[in-house]
């Protein structure tokens, strides 16, 4: 039996700023990888994941899509996988794997700092990630003086398979 972790915390700090992005690029998908920073995940107060140069806007786009699927309530909660164009391997940097009838989720990372993959109640992890998404949007837009909206569904992120709750059919996003 997996023990449930109690606390999930995200810490980030941008390492680039508005001057790093030319005005004419503000809506160009080329800037997605230029919005970067230090990104940490702490589990029960222990450092679980740390990346000095995470493409934070790219991560936001993956997170936004995953949460939009959940919020639609049309599909079973899919796995979350964050791949990066900066990382040329075929493995996700961060994953969330639902299990136990979507009641729980396991956090995994190929760059984890701890020798475990923590388990959380699904409602808790979705709530924490929703708060992260909303805060990231505000912070990205304020720090870089851009809107994230032009990049949603336009920047090439990997497809995600979801299962329709009513029809049981797989759909790709």
79-83, 102-106, 138-142, 147-151: the lowest-pLDDT one: 147-151
The model's pTM is 0.91
d(CA 162, CA 74): 9
More confident residue, 101 or 22: 101
- pLDDT beyond 60 at 155: yes
| Residues 59-109: tens digit of each pLDDT | 999 999 999 999 999 999 999 999 987 776 788 999 999 999 999 999 999
Mean pLDDT computed over every residue of the chain = 90
More confident residue, 111 or 138: 138
* Domains of the chain, residue spans: 8-172
d(CA 104, CA 119): 7
| Model pLDDT, residue 1 | 52
8, 49, 55 from 78: Cα distances, Å:
20, 22, 22
| Model pLDDT, residue 159 | 82
- pLDDT beyond 70 at 2: no
């Amino acid at each position: 039996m997996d023990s449930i972790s109690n606390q999930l915390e995200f810490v980030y700090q941008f390492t680039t700023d508005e001057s790093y992005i030319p005005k004419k690029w503000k809506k160009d998908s080329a800037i997605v990888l230029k919005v970067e920073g230090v990104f940490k995940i702490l589990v029960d107060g222990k450092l679980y994941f740390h990346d000095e140069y995470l493409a934070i806007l790219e991560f936001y786009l993956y997170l936004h899509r995953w949460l939009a699927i959940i919020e639609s309530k049309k599909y079973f909660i899919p796995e979350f996988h964050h791949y990066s164009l900066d990382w040329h391997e075929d493995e996700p940097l961060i994953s969330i794997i639902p299990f136990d009838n979507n009641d729980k989720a396991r956090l995994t990372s190929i760059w984890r700092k701890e020798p475990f993959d923590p388990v959380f109640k699904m409602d808790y992890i979705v709530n924490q990630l929703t708060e992260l998404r909303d805060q990231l949007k505000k912070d990205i837009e304020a720090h870089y003086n851009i809107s994230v909206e032009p990049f949603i569904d336009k920047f090439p992120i990997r497809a995600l398979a979801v299962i329709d709750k009513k029809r049981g059919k797989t759909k790709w996003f």
